[in-house]
Structure 1
Amino acid sequence: SVRMLLLQVLIVISTWSYGYSQITLIQTPLSVTRAVTKTARMACKITGVTFNSAFIHWYRQRPGAAPERILYIESGSANMDAGFDSKRFEAEKIVSTSTCNLKVHQLTREDAATYYCDLLTVKLSATSGVLIKVFGSGTKIIVTGKLCGNYSNLLPHSDEQAGKVSYMCLIEDFYPDVIKVTWEDDNKNAEKNGVHEEIWPSDDNNSSYSMSSWLTVDKNSTKNYRCKYQHETNENGFATIESPGIYYIIKTSSIYI
């Protein structure tokens, strides 16, 4: 007899844990800034599934609009959705690295958007099946001629308040405004609690941005802390502070495309 399977649809961002396995989609880079007519490239690394047979989709989401599927690929050539030109949108699966790459050729202003990879797979049990749809975190394409980075500055801790002290990491004059900041201690353990951040335009024309991220810890902590940031101009920028308040300045060069 044929066993009927109940399929439950789950839409998940970035990771999905199922039993003892975890499906993870990691997109790189955070953003890609290119001039008109150039090519933008991005990658999606997938773990937790049989990559060879996985169906991978790529979506484009323009500001204020619903996501549009560009294509999907299992093996061989990608299957394009209506309205998308296979000469401009190119996807390939690299089995050796479990990575699916997307290239957007001959960029136009209309290509400025956030691009998401997506995995559709089925997990089966003895009595049912689960249809899992997992999205990556996204890569933003900015179509322009400017890409710049400047200073990362980790400031000494503030005065004690209620048994706590705060450290601030100031990152100035970067573009585009897609940036990721994390804090870690001496042992490279991520600090998740007591972290806050704010980003703002550096000028009236929004031609560059600045950001502050601050970490609040117990005043008796003897750890040293590192503020790390990821940005197109410097994927491994960092500033380190050693108690009670020595700080370093890291400068990145400006790049124009």
Structure 2
Amino acid sequence: MLLLSGFTFSCLWAFGLGQLEPIEISVTRAVSQSAQISCKVSLEGFDKVDIHWYRQKTNQPFEYLIYVRNDNTHRPLEGISKKIEAKKDLRTSTATLIINSLKKEDEAIYYCALWVESSWIKVFSKGTKLIVIPSDKHLGSDVSPKPTIFLPSVAETNLHKAGTYLCLLEKFFPDVIRVYWKEKDGDKILKSQEGNSMKTNNTYMKFSWLTVTEDSMDKEHKCIVKHENNQGGVDQEILFPPIDKVANIISPTEAYLKTENAFTTITINPRGENVNNTTDLEACLEERRDVLQIQVTNTSAFYTYLILFFKSVVHLAFVMFCVFRRAALRCDGQSS
């Protein structure tokens, strides 16, 4: 997987970004249904190139599936013509893979690819994960990421001349999600950090945070969330106020969440300040404590296991030493 990613990005870097881009980062369908996975091809002469499709199941090698010729006819592998189909839409410059009669074993990451003209290099897309769920599994009416924001404390901004925005995303399904940060009016993706997606009951949660330096503390920033079940299929844009303004506010701060064309106001206090005990704030802090407690518990269990493991190794080494030493002494006594 890592090898493919490195190869993919090196090819894209060499021959131009955006040649192959999956339209969906994930597709979730039930057993027996059909799934369509689409790929946007930004390349002149799209009508003359062959589009190839691959997939990779967990811990398995890549599997070649099918290709679409420049005359828009598909060439499936022998024996699976009814199972897998492929097509091209010249009007929208998209290639689409269709998997019929889904089974659990169809779950994998699917890639579209093409040969670079006059070259032996094949360019791959980033991939789309197909998730196959049981036909009797019923997801909630809204399994899009639910954001809660945390703003930097006055102590942090005064001491370090920087501030950390924290975005907690909860109750989403599936676990495939992409989070990145930008300045409100900027196009550059900023360097940020994030934790792993963690399962809570039948949904998932994830942290992402951005540390803003002194030079950008007067600017608004936004956390952009890409997920299969975002409302209207539009990326969520979660707006964070300038840190300079946050640092000067003593009462709870109003933060704004931008989803599609509407703004929703939630009350969040900068970390480290004394606040009134509002129900919303208590709920947010309680959720955060629960997550931190899970992380601490997992870390503690890991190190406890390591300590017990090394203790067992030392004990075994001591016992083996005594046994071999006794055997050596016995042999010396017999030889004499």
TM-score by length of 2: 0.63
Deviation at 1:223, TM superposition (A): 0.8
SS at match of 1:115: strand
* Paired position in structure 2 for 1:138: 127
Percent identical among aligned pairs is 32
2:170 match: 172
The structure richer in helix per residue is 2
CA distance in 2, matches of 1:97, 1:154: 37
Q: How many Å separate the matches in 2 of 1:150 and 1:121?
A: 38
Counterpart mapping for 1:236-251 below 5 A: 236-243=235-242, 244-245=245-246, 246-249=254-257
Q: Which of 140, 160, 163 does residue 162 from structure 1 map onto? A: 160
Answer yes or no: is the 8 Å Cα contact 2:238–2:259 preserved in 1.
no
Alignment of 1:43 onto 2:38: yes
Give how far 1:11 is off: 4.7
Shift of 1:178: 0.3
Task: Provide Cα deviations, 1:52-91, integer angstroms capped at 9, x if missing partner.
Answer: 11111101111110110110111232111245x2222121
Structure 1 residue matching 2:176: 3-state secondary structure: coil
CA contact (8 A) 2:145 2:170 kept: yes
Task: Look up the SS of the partner of 1:240 in the other structure.
Answer: strand
Q: Distance in 2 between matches of 1:202 and 1:109?
A: 20
Instruction: Quote the offset at 1:191 in angstroms.
Output: 3.3
Query: 1:249 and 1:51 mapped to 2: Cα distance?
Result: 39
Structure 2 match to 1:7 = none
The reply on whether 1:90 has 2:90 as its aligned counterpart is no
Q: Distance in 2 between matches of 1:22 and 1:201?
A: 31
Gapped regions of structure 2 (runs ≥ 5)? 1-5, 247-253, 261-336
Deviations 1:31-51 (Å, cap 9, x if unpaired)?
A: 011110111112111113421
What is the aligned partner in structure 1 of residue 219 from structure 2? 223
Match of 1:96, SS state, is coil
Code of the aligned partner of 2:115: L
Superposed CA RMSD in Å reads 2.4
Deviation for aligned residue 1:165: 1.1
Unaligned 5+ residue runs, structure 1?
1-9, 124-129, 253-257
Deviation at 1:173, TM superposition (A): 1.5
Please name the residue that 1:188 is paired with.
Answer: 186
Specify the SS of the correspondent of 2:102: coil
For the structure 1 residues 169 and 57, does the alpha-carbon distance in structure 2 shift closer, same or farther, using more than 3 Å as the test? same
Q: Which moved more, 1:130-139 or 1:144-153?
A: 144-153
> Bigger CA drift: 145-154 or 210-219?
145-154
Amino acid in the other structure paired with 1:151: K
On the 8 A contact 2:8/2:126 being kept in 1, the answer is no
For 2:43 and 2:17, the matched residues in 1 are separated by 5
Q: What is the CA–CA distance in structure 1 between the aligned matches of 2:95 and 2:33, rounded to whole Å?
A: 20
Q: 1:157 to 1:82 in 2, by over 3 A?
A: farther
8 Å Cα contact 2:145/2:227 also seen in 1: no
Structure 1 distance, partners of 2:138, 2:150, is 28
Alpha carbons 1:170, 1:213 under 8 Å: kept: yes
Matched residue SS, 2:22: strand
Correspondence for 1:127 = none
Pairwise CA distance, 1:189 = 2.0
Q: CA, structure 1 residues 121+191, in 2 after alignment: closer, same or farther (shift >3 Å)? A: closer
Greater relative contact order (Cα < 8 A, sep 6+) = 1
Larger radius of gyration: 2
2:102 maps to what in 1? 107
Q: Give per-residue Cα distances to partners, 1:161-186, cap 9 Å, x unaligned.
A: 53221111110111111001111112
